[in-house]
Amino acid sequence: MEALQRNHSKAPAKPLLRALAGERLNRPPVWLMRQAGRYLPEYRAVRQRVGSFLDLCFTPKLAAEVTLQPVRRFGMDAAILFSDILVVPYALGQAVRFEEGEGPVLDPVRDGDAVERLSTANFHERLGPVYDAVVEVAAALPSDTALIGFAGAPWTVACYMLEGGSSRDFSAVKLWALRHEQEFARLLDLLVEATADYLIRQVEAGAEALQIFDSWAGALAEAEFERWCIAPLAAITCRVRARHPEIPIIAFPRGGGFGCELLVARAGIQGIALDPTVPLRWAAERLQQHSALQGNLDPALLAAGGAVMERQVHRILKAWSKGAFIFNLGHGVLPSTPPEHVASLVGLIKSWRE
């Protein structure tokens, strides 16, 4: 009884953190990937005021402002820092730019020398504005809203670094990785170290939970998944939690499918974000005893709204609310999503009782 009370008094008050501590809540906390973004008119208004997408990420006042917009409008249970996973290669010295409507373009790193030229010398200096944005958001958030920091996972960031942008088949990065095993291992090690440091600084600036996005995990064959997705993630969580043992970490291995089972067993995470292809029952049976589940509504259903959305929302709530669970999409909000649909979704979750 005393132990229980002690536990209780130590339990973090914010719903998101309670779910990540393994607690089953009356209704799940809710936030949405890419909840700050183009579908919001107030985001587009801010976006117009700066030249490039990276300028927005690196202007603390504006990055903080767009981070807070969906929290104000919808009462989300968490804010996720507005930024981009490619600030890490940028801070390591790689040229990164965002072409309107085309996505990111990087000068690809494709030889050992280019890897050697990457440097952590100005890393935290270049990322200073991101840490400042975290401080601003932390100061402005409602008391029960958690602040999530984030970074890209080494495999996904390496994909962009080697492909020079998005890719359909990831042949450049895979061939390079297979032909230059040692250089690729060195690149992943560098990314593990830099990413862990980056996340630690976010925590020290005020982030209360972290999410690591492995957006291209689905491109990995079974054996590669273990080596290039799980191992680097485990190395990062180990470093971050050695410094900040209380900080929960969510991994998002998009397309990771079957691999999620090994990932929750090995990667030292407290939450796993699941894409819409992951079967609800399988996740409840195989993953939820190891990790809080987060997800997994298809963003197209949110954009469609109405009865088709509600039906699937109820299915997810029923399947996953018996354990630790955070409601979210299975991928980011689509730009074509009507904001009212987001309001209905949040209303549905907040009024839900099993």
Q: At which residue do the structure tokens 């801070």 appear?
A: 91
Nearer to its own copies, 154 or 259 (CB): 259
279 near its own copies, rule: CB under 8 A: yes
105 near its own copies, rule: CB under 8 A: no
Of the candidates 170, 329, 180, the one whose C-alpha atom is nearest the C-alpha of residue 188 is 180
Q: Rounded to the nearest whole angstrom, what is the least distance from the CB of residue 198 to its own copies in the complex?
A: 26
298 near its own copies, rule: CB under 8 A: yes
198 touches 211 (CB < 8 A): no
Q: Catalytic annotation on 47?
A: yes
Q: Rounded to the nearest whole angstrom, what is the least distance from the CB of residue 310 to its own copies in the complex?
A: 12
Q: Which stretch binds its own copies (CB under 8 A): 36-44, 47-55, 135-143, 223-231?
A: 223-231
Q: Which residue out of 38, 126, 186, 266 is catalytically annotated?
A: 38
Strands 78-80 and 146-152: parallel
Q: Catalytic annotation on 227?
A: no
Over its C-alpha atoms, the chain yields an Rg (Å, rounded) of 19
How many chain residues touch its own copies (CB under 8 A)? 40
Binding to its own copies in span 304-323, by CB under 8 A: 304, 308, 312, 315
185 near its own copies, rule: CB under 8 A: no
Cα–Cα distance measured from residue 22 to residue 290, given in angstroms and rounded to the nearest whole number: 9
Nearer to its own copies, 173 or 324 (CB): 173
Q: Catalytic annotation on 44?
A: no
Would you please indicate which residues are annotated as catalytic (active-site) residues? 34, 38, 47, 84, 160
Contacts to its own copies by CB under 8 A = 166, 168-171, 174-175, 178-179, 218, 220-225, 255, 257-259, 276-280, 282, 296, 298-301, 303-304, 308, 312, 315, 330-331, 334, 336
